Chain A
Amino acid sequence: MAAPFDLKNDGVVVIIGSGAGGGTLGNELAQKGIDVVILEAGARHEYQDFINDEWDSFAQLAWTDKRTTSGDWRVAKDFPNLPAWIVKAVGGSTTHWAGASLRFQEHEFKTLSTYGKLEGANLLDWPMTLAELEPYYAKAEDRLGVTLTNNIPGLPGNNNFKVMKAGADKLGYKECHTGRMAINSEPRDDRNACQQTGFCFQGCKWGAKWSTLYSEIPKGEATGHLEVRPNAMAININHDASGKVTGVVYADKDGRLREQKARIVAVAGNSIESPRLLLNSASSQFPDGLANSSGQVGKNYMRHTTGSVYGIFDKPVHMYRGTTMAGIIRDEARNDPSRGFVGGYELETLSLGLPFMAAFLNPGGWGRSFTTALDHYDHMAGMWIVGEDMPREENRITLHADIKDEHGMPVADVHFDDHSNDTAMRNHAYKQGSALYEAVGATRTLPTPPYPSTHNLGTNRMSEKAADGVVNKHGQAHDIKNLFVSDGSQFTTGGAENPTLTIVSLAIRQAEYIAGQMSAKSI
């Protein structure tokens, strides 16, 4: 049973956010017998309640509280108040996510050493190596039930994958398969097998896809050590004169402010909200915000170098049938500067339904060039580009000077400018993607601009030295021993891979560290 903890209980670990990072950490700690309260801003919708309809699902799950944008990215013009497509609900963005679960490559933990100093990029090596994370990757893959690991068969290829595979073969790509997916190809861990419904982005109504909502959280609750408090929006983290954090002020479902006392606080609100909360928790002792002696809180915002390529064929494809992202080409993920950029990118199958395709294919576009593309919706195949983007200090989350949310908390402004390396990589990927589809007979290809960010990273980054970042290699704030960051905002750099497997691995590792520190009474 879920354990309701008293607001004054100062022995609990308070986690802010119940997504990939927070939901995993909460269960891990609960399994170790540690009492945990997860404060989650969103409501709880069980998977049976998910909706096979893009806009209705978006209204049910997405984070639509106001945000603002600036910078040269197109999202700022097309979706000025929607910089990111992420979730506000129990389970966080693991309700919406597609399930692609990849490990980082070795060099991606050492970007400064590998790529060298790059003008306009704030590169830094992670304070950790691939070898250190490998055991946790293995645990995470088992936990998520990632296909093509742990003897789990791959998912069957859908139409969209078959087009990708045929093109990959023509182009001579060697590593193309149906992906390492946290989606059951056969029943496992009390989850169904995938029924090829094609609404992975809308929450899996079969529960075939891993999500903290129904995978981690109920297990944690069953221990009696985990309470998830939905509709609880954290606004401020309090601290005492010694500089230790002591509790979290949050607005409950009626908008009333409450304080949950805490022994330890872990922030896992995703890379826009986590720095927003730390910045908003500024005090006379920490005038620039909590954990911000380096000045790096909110900076180095990364969103992956993304984009999509759609190909139109003279015969039907029906790309929307079946698993949205079960298809990948990994050949371009290597670091090979001879291509004109450092780092690499993955190509993954992608499909949007007609309503989202209309909204995202060429936002603001109109006329026959636009509509004749949609006319062939059922003859389209699609892929998504996801590549490593450069951390830049200027790309950052700040508190808006004037605009506040319903609780009086300043909204987050998200500033982003592409680095020239990002642009070069994207253009290379557009060319490869188009060539791939043309090789199988596409009559038209559509290089499609990045959508609002689904991967948000880097805004409380890990660093060896306190001057270079916000947290150490355990996600523990350099400045405050009992304050942790447990989501993708810890990433020092972004890698070419979809981030969630790494977020989960870090959370499993962090739980071990926290438990160790607690029993040693050092926090």
Chain B
Amino acid sequence: MVTIYESKPVHETTPGLSRRELLKRGGVGALLVISGSAVISPEHAWGLETSALKPETMATLIQMARDIYPHDQVPDKYYAIAVKAHDEQAGKDPAHKDLIERGVADLDLKSGKDGYTGLGWEEQRVAVLRGIQDTPFFQAVRGGLVVGLYNQKQVWPIFGYEGESYSKGGYMARGFDDIEWL
């Protein structure tokens, strides 16, 4: 099972964690850390445990998800939730596991010696993605994100979308015609 869990910042819970891979994101300075079978965000206190895919693969998918649909105001956590379905599917379907693992390996190969997440600038990573955008791997990841990312109710407020409105009586008294700048 993949779980996204809220955790204490990593240095509090796992002192001396061996950071066997650090995944740097260009310019931003945020870090995702691999620990055992989990991808952990020490700064933002969440973790994602994988069961079928390698945690490194999952970390790459998270970065890839952000590069495909970059929203600087959306935290990594939601990208992690958006791609975790691939771990679940990989657990049930060896062909899917193969598609993702090979796809990520290929992506790393095309990205040079430090792999995909070793590329510091989004532009560099996007250039690699452009080269594979017609592959089934890319399409599986991108296609899954359309619903996986944008159908998370938690991200809607970030975009200013208010969602369900019936229980609040619609917008009759809540600004359906409140535009003022015209």
Contacts from A to B (Cβ < 8 Å): 52-53, 55, 156-159, 162-163, 166, 194-199, 205-206, 315-318, 320-322, 353-355, 357-359, 364, 366-368, 370-371, 374-375, 377-379, 440
Contact = CB atoms under 8 A, between A and B. Distances in A.
Contact of B163 (A156, A166, A353): A353
**Majority secondary structure, B binding face:** loop
7 contacts: A52-B167, A196-B172, A197-B170, A198-B170, A198-B171, A318-B160, A322-B170
B159 to A, nearest CB: 4
A509 to B, nearest CB: 36
Nearest to B175: A321
Interface string B60-74: 000000001111010
A219 B70 CA distance: 52
B164 A52 contact: yes
B181 A378 contact: no
Nearest to A48: B166
Interface stretch (B41-49, B108-116, B146-154): B146-154
Contacts of A320: 161-162
A367 B70 contact: yes
Contacts of A206: 166, 170
A377 B163 contact: no
Nearest to B123: A368
A196 B146 contact: no
A157 B177 contact: yes
B181 A315 contact: yes
Contacts of B28: none
Contacts of B175: 159, 318, 321
**Majority secondary structure, A binding face:** loop
A359 B147 contact: yes
Given A321-B171, A440-B182, A159 B177 contact: yes
Nearest to A366: B68
Contacts of B69: 366, 370-371
B161 A354 contact: yes
B142 interface: yes
Contact of B182 (A166, A194, A359): A166
Nearest to A380: B160
B54 to A, nearest CB: 24
Given A378-B160, A378-B161, 5 more contacts: A52-B165, A52-B167, A53-B164, A55-B151, A159-B178
A162 B179 contact: yes
B29 interface: no
Contacts of A370: 69
B151 A355 contact: yes
A355 B150 contact: yes
Contacts of B5: none
Most buried by B among A158, A197, A317, A378: A197
